[in-house]
Amino acid sequence: MSSSDVVLGPNQYGKAEVRVVRVNRETPVHTLMDLNVSSLLRGDFTDCYRSGDNSRVIATDTQKNTVYAFAKEHGISTPEEFLRLLGRHFTAQDEVAGGRWTAESYPWERIQVPGPEGELRAHEHSFVKSKQEIRTAALTIQDGEEHLLGGFSDLTVLKTTGSEFSGFPRDRYTTLPETQDRIMATDITARWLFAEDAAAETDFDAVYARVKQLVLEQFALVHSLSLQQTLYAAGEAVLGAVPEIEDIRFVMPNNHHYVVDLSRFDLENPNEVFQAGDRPYGLMNASVTRRDAPARPHAWEWLGGFC
């Protein structure tokens, strides 16, 4: 085989996990944004791969520096907008045809301290980290188009009743009994795709809060016949309430809770004592989308768990 028969396929490179904390100190009431940013560039880098010619390779160190400099120059309003600043900056350069910019954003709450009358008030510059979930964002620029995703990861929920699973096919290897009452628990990871025209004027923080609340609500309120049904209901509620979103995708494990057999100890166990399992776990990946949404596969490529 001659080496000319071998070619470079899809590729991207950059700097991953740039940890930037941006404090706004304009007033005594400080605010902070705490992000983990990755920048991956795409373009014609064949010469670098084939012969080590770096003349078109914007150093990953430069990408890191740009994140920090932009945090100062532009501030960080929302993860989505910060990624858009970065993506447009890099694709304005000759060497860069497109790329993927992603961020995790860690929420912090103000610490409550006693005020003069003893009542609690929010402190000006002291924070405690809320780890309920991690907010995520991802921007892809490919072929001149921008694809912007909001999202969160690992929002862990559990309901102690209101969940069934029955009516599934039985074959030689089926031993699971049907159940009309079980614990349902999952860690919800979601990403949602903003419609292209909506992305410009969207209030990303408001959308984020709305989606999170809708997903939690549906999890609580839907009497669930399967985790799939709950996932779909959550997606449908989001698409119904948030017109800026055209597609929402979920990765949801089924965190099994096994009813412990206490009959061996002459005890009944009417769904009161459970063993929380680790592995294996059920897993589903699914998209809920608008019927007329345009196909935008580039938005989702390379992201594990999303098609």
Interaction residues for a copy of itself, span 211-230 (CB under 8 A): 213, 216-217, 219-221, 224-226, 228-229
Looking at 44, 77, 88, 131, which residue binds a copy of itself (CB under 8 A)? 131
Looking at 27, 129, 197, 294, which residue binds a copy of itself (CB under 8 A)? 129
Binding flag, residue 263, a copy of itself (CB under 8 A): no
Q: Which of 31, 60, 160, 289 is catalytic?
A: 60
Binding flag, residue 92, a copy of itself (CB under 8 A): no
Contact window for a copy of itself (CB under 8 A) among 77-85, 144-152, 201-209, 239-247: 239-247
Collapsed DSSP state (helix, strand, coil) of residue 168: coil
Residue type, 245: I
CB of residue 205 to a copy of itself, shortest distance in Å? 18
Q: Which has the closest alpha carbon to 277: 253, 252, 258? A: 258
Binding flag, residue 307, a copy of itself (CB under 8 A): yes
Binding flag, residue 111, a copy of itself (CB under 8 A): yes
| Omega prior to 294 cis, within 30 of 0 | no
Looking at 27, 119, 143, 168, which residue binds a copy of itself (CB under 8 A)? 168
CB of residue 38 to a copy of itself, shortest distance in Å? 7
Q: Which of 147, 212, 256, 257 is catalytic?
A: 256
Active-site annotation holds for 131: no
Distance between CA 302 and CA 307 in Å, rounded?
9
CB of residue 225 to a copy of itself, shortest distance in Å? 3
Q: Which has the closest alpha carbon to 200: 98, 80, 43, 288? A: 80
CB of residue 244 to a copy of itself, shortest distance in Å? 13
Looking at 97, 195, 198, 284, which residue binds a copy of itself (CB under 8 A)? 284
Which residues have a Cβ under 8 Å from the Cβ of 254 and sit 6 or more positions away?
184, 185, 186, 227, 281, 282, 283, 284
Inter-residue contact 70 to 90 (CB < 8 Å):
no
- Strands 245-254, 145-159: parallel, antiparallel or unpaired by DSSP? unpaired
Distance between CA 299 and CA 294 in Å, rounded?
11
CA atoms within 13 A on the CB side of 61: 0
Scanning residues 7 to 36, which ones bind a copy of itself (CB under 8 A)? Answer: 7-25, 30, 32, 34, 36
Residue with tokens 């309120």: 221
CB of residue 203 to a copy of itself, shortest distance in Å? 20
Active-site annotation holds for 89: no
What CA dihedral angle connects 288, 289, 290 and 292, to 10 degrees?
-140
Residues with a known catalytic role: 15, 60, 256
